[in-house]
Amino acid sequence: MERYHVIQEKNPREIVLLKAFPCVWGKCTFCDYTEDNSRDEDEMRFLNSRVLSMVTGEKGVLEVINSGSCFELPKSTLKDIKDTIDKKKIQRLFFESHWIYRHRLNEMRELMGIPITYKIGVESFDNEFREKVLNKHADFKSPEEVAEYFDSPCIMVGIAGQTKKMIERDIELLKRHFKLGTVNVFTDNSTAIKRDPELVTWFAVEYAWLRDDPSVEVLFENTDFGVGD
């Protein structure tokens, strides 16, 4: 499992994949990332401390991810992140959070003391697909509502049951309402949700221009950020 990497292309930054307590929701039908969760705080503290010790501060920007939300990281790890920010002179932090925590985002801003860019796994702005198929448990009704709290939505494409029109609308809304975003191409995993190869092929051709868009990162593989397995 790779847990540290330096992203050199769009939005250059260091990125770390840490362990955390189980996801507060943990019922998304497409997600098996929760297998990286833990309840052993000593194990998490040791592992996360080791990973954070690899941060150099060379980009001045750090992204911290885990298989859930930043609010599920152990308190000891949050302290280690703050210490790393101070020692390595990190100027901006990327965190990810579930919609459930939207009213608590300022807690982390106050704790870390630097600007935080908050990502959120939207998956789709199509409310019925997001809630009834993906079971995301994020009951916002519009991208404007998401933008009130979060800076950078993650959109998922290439899922069986999606349509081209849904993807076109999702990307159009992403570009219209947000300065940053990520598009994840779905990869088959241990869940019952399946990839639509034809839709992926269409997306790769139709949206090839996103590769040159500095505001949108496209991940064709789960490990394209250099972490995970």
Please name the residue that has the structure tokens 């630097």. 114
Bridge partners (DSSP) listed for residue 154: 121, 182
Sorting pLDDT into bands at 50, 70 and 90, what band is 152? very high
226 is a domain residue: no
Pairing relationship of beta strands 116-123 and 92-96 according to DSSP bridges: parallel
Range of the domain at 101: 4-219
At 202 the pLDDT is: 98
The domain that holds 181 is classified in CATH as 3.20.20.70
Q: What is the pLDDT of residues 82-98, one digit of tens each?
A: 999 999 999 999 999 99
pLDDT at 34 over 80: no
Global pTM reads 0.95
* DSSP-based three-state secondary structure for 108: helix
Q: What is the pLDDT of residues 56-89, one digit of tens each?
A: 999 999 999 999 999 999 999 999 999 999 999 9
Domain count of the chain? Answer: 1
229 is a domain residue: no
At 197 the pLDDT is: 97
